[in-house]
């Protein structure tokens, strides 16, 4: 037998909204604090043109999601709340709520679309129109009373006949503040990117209106009262490097405190959150030096040919120089009939005496080779990135010569 939630989802997809409402109502009986079931029932109410009920469920979903600290569900519940407010003509409240959604999820397409609709509607209203007023708060205020949920097929606000089932569900009051984390179990974590330090204090029940967060260019301090009539205090002084204190962003949430610090020197990597006076002084000097310099041009890269591994006692070979030298020792002589003959000059005796035997071998091999062999040697050497040398033009001309690095080495593109 399918669960109530599964039946509700199937009915919602089939556009059987009354059945979906009933199924999610049954699911809520079993799990009265589930944010998702209230969100889905709000959706069903909205599509069934029961906007007041849709708003009520959306607000309950926001409260439940905030109590659980579920960001995705908070965003979804606030979106449903904003849509319901818009359909009720409360454009100021709807704009406020959907801006909360956009603030938490800047790319939220539905929120952006509804905000555009609201903006058009607001332009048509007088400046003192009641529909412009903003009375909503981020956390809905839910009255602690009981509301009758009409069964599918009955008119809202009227009692259903005795043959019809009528469900009466209490609307939960605003949730109590989450139980505060003991001071001994409060911990923190942090991470960074090139511009920011993201600091999170993992503590539940931090009183938002009594929390003090102070930052200077070199320090961070947090304090708030505990339920034990004492005060929790945390100070990081000095930080590893200076920050731009005036840009600090703080968020006190039910389950944690988030702080975003802006690095004074973007791109600097912090190996730790806290530093010492010595490291801080060094970092400050670096910032001063950077700010007063005239941004010198980066050094020009040295134009060097790639170096290849070699077992020669004289070090790696510069194959570009070898090829250039060989080319200089060949000259083209034009004949009377316009043809061109390649004439190779004789090597000096000094070239073959002393020096590197491998170098001399390749010089002789290239000098005495036919044009086809030379083409094969140059093509195979160039296309293989210096890892192959072939003298067979019949083989080489068939396609590109693949790079074959020596055993234990890896070829990389330049």
**Is there a single domain that holds both residue 17 and residue 107?**
yes
Those residues with Cβ within 8 angstroms of residue 195's Cβ, 6 or more apart along the chain or in another chain? 262, 263, 266, 267
**Is there a single domain that holds both residue 113 and residue 215?**
no
The Cα–Cα gap between 309 and 315 comes to 9
Last residue in a domain, options 108, 132, 156: 132
Is residue 122 in a domain?
Answer: yes
pLDDT for 39:
94
Report helix, strand or coil for 262: strand
Closest CA to 201 of 263, 273, 261, 255: 255
Last residue in a domain, options 72, 100, 132: 132
> 282-323 pLDDT, tens per residue?
655 565 555 554 455 555 555 555 555 555 556 666 656 665
Is residue 204 in a domain?
Answer: yes
For the domain that residue 65 is a member of, what is the CATH number? Answer: 1.25.40.10
Is residue 333 in a domain?
Answer: no
**Is there a single domain that holds both residue 125 and residue 192?**
no
Averaged over 2-27, what is the pLDDT? 88
Domain ranges, residue 388: 368-413
Averaged over 386-401, what is the pLDDT? 83
**Is there a single domain that holds both residue 119 and residue 32?**
yes
pLDDT band at 382 (very low <50, low <70, confident <90, very high): confident
340-344 and 187-192: which strand pairing? unpaired
Per the structure, how many domains does the chain have? 3
Range in 98-112, 174-188, 305-319 the model is least confident about:
305-319
pLDDT for 114:
92
pLDDT for 311:
55
pTM of the predicted protein model = 0.39
* For residue 166, pLDDT beyond 80: no
> 326-336 pLDDT, tens per residue?
655 554 444 44
**Is there a single domain that holds both residue 224 and residue 124?**
no
The Cα–Cα gap between 171 and 156 comes to 17
User: Higher model confidence: residue 292 or residue 168?
Assistant: 292
Question: Number of C-alpha atoms within 13 angstroms, CB side, residue 235?
Answer: 7
pLDDT for 349:
46
Decide: 153 and 166 in contact? Cβ < 8 Å: no
The percentage of residues in the chain with a pLDDT greater than 70, rounded to a whole number, is 71
The Cα–Cα gap between 342 and 329 comes to 10
Considering 183-197, 298-312, 399-413, the range whose residues carry the highest mean pLDDT is 183-197
Averaged over 343-358, what is the pLDDT? 53
**Is there a single domain that holds both residue 19 and residue 117?**
yes
Phi, psi dihedrals of residue 341, rounded to the nearest 5°: -115, 130
pLDDT for 314:
63
pLDDT for 272:
92
pLDDT for 287:
57
Strand partners, 149: 167
pLDDT for 100:
93
**Is there a single domain that holds both residue 124 and residue 25?**
yes
The Cα–Cα gap between 323 and 121 comes to 77
* Helices 17-30 + 4-13 axis angle, to 10: 160
The Cα–Cα gap between 78 and 102 comes to 10
Averaged over 253-269, what is the pLDDT? 93
pLDDT band at 374 (very low <50, low <70, confident <90, very high): confident
Report helix, strand or coil for 225: strand
* For residue 353, pLDDT beyond 60: no
pLDDT band at 2 (very low <50, low <70, confident <90, very high): low
What is the average pLDDT score of the chain? Answer: 78
**Is there a single domain that holds both residue 207 and residue 122?**
no
The Cα–Cα gap between 330 and 317 comes to 21
| Residues in the chain, overall count | 414
Is residue 340 in a domain?
Answer: no
Averaged over 266-275, what is the pLDDT? 91
pLDDT for 275:
84
Is residue 152 in a domain?
Answer: no
The Cα–Cα gap between 232 and 252 comes to 15
**Is there a single domain that holds both residue 204 and residue 119?**
no
User: Higher model confidence: residue 125 or residue 303?
Assistant: 125
pLDDT for 82:
92
Decide: 209 and 224 in contact? Cβ < 8 Å: no
- CA dist 28 to 32, 47, 60, 167, 294, Å? 5, 19, 12, 11, 66
Decide: 55 and 94 in contact? Cβ < 8 Å: no
Last residue in a domain, options 211, 244, 263: 263
pLDDT for 170:
46
**Is there a single domain that holds both residue 193 and residue 253?**
yes
For the domain that residue 201 is a member of, what is the CATH number? Answer: 2.60.40.790
pLDDT for 178:
64
Is residue 273 in a domain?
Answer: no
pLDDT for 97:
93
**Is there a single domain that holds both residue 119 and residue 21?**
yes
User: Higher model confidence: residue 7 or residue 144?
Assistant: 7
pLDDT band at 337 (very low <50, low <70, confident <90, very high): very low
> 54-74 pLDDT, tens per residue?
999 999 999 999 988 888 999
**Is there a single domain that holds both residue 121 and residue 203?**
no
Is residue 363 in a domain?
Answer: no
pLDDT band at 276 (very low <50, low <70, confident <90, very high): confident
Decide: 312 and 349 in contact? Cβ < 8 Å: no
Report helix, strand or coil for 333: strand
Is residue 139 in a domain?
Answer: no
pLDDT for 301:
57
Averaged over 193-207, what is the pLDDT? 93
Which residue do the tokens 């009981």 mark?
146
């Amino acid at each position: 037998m399918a669960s109530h939630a599964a039946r509700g989802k199937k009915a919602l997809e089939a556009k059987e909204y009354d059945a979906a409402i009933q199924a999610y109502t049954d699911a809520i009986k079993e799990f009265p604090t589930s944010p998702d079931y209230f969100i889905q029932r709000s959706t069903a109410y909205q599509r069934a043109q029961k906007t007041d009920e849709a708003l009520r469920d959306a607000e309950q979903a926001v409260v439940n999601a905030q109590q659980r600290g579920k960001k995705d569900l908070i965003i979804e519940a606030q979106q449903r709340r904003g849509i319901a407010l818009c359909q009720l003509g409360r454009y100021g409240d709807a704009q406020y709520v959907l801006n909360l959604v956009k603030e938490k999820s800047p790319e939220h397409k539905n929120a952006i679309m509804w905000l555009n609709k609201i903006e058009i509607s607001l332009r048509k209203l007088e400046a003192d129109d009641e529909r412009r007023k903003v009375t909503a708060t981020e956390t809905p205020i839910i009255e602690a009373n009981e509301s009758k949920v009409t069964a599918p097929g009955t008119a809202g606000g009227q009692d259903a006949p005795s043959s019809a089932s009528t469900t009466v569900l209490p609307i939960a009051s605003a949730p109590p503040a989450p139980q505060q984390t003991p001071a001994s179990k409060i911990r923190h974590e942090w991470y960074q990117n090139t511009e920011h330090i993201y600091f999170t204090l993992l503590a539940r029940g931090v009183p938002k209106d009594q929390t003090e967060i102070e930052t200077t260019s070199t320090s961070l301090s947090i304090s708030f009262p505990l339920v034990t009539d004492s005060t929790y205090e945390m100070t990081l002084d000095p930080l590893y490097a200076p920050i731009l204190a005036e840009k600090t962003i703080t968020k006190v949430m039910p389950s944690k405190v988030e702080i975003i610090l802006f690095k004074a020197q973007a791109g600097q990597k912090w190996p730790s959150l806290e530093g010492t006076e010595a490291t801080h002084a060094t970092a400050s000097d670096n910032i001063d030096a950077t700010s007063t310099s005239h941004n010198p041009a980066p050094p020009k890269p040295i134009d060097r040919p790639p170096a290849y591994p070699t077992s020669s006692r004289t070090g790696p070979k510069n194959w570009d120089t070898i090829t250039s030298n060989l080319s200089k020792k060949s000259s083209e002589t034009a004949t009377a009939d316009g043809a061109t003959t390649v004439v190779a000059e004789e090597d000096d005796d000094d070239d073959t005496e002393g020096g590197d035997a491998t170098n001399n071998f390749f010089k002789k091999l290239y000098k005495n080779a036919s044009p086809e062999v030379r083409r094969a040697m140059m093509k195979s050497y160039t296309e293989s990135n210096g890892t192959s040398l072939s003298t067979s033009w019949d083989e080489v001309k068939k396609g590109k010569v693949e790079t074959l690095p020596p055993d234990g080495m890896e070829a990389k593109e330049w």
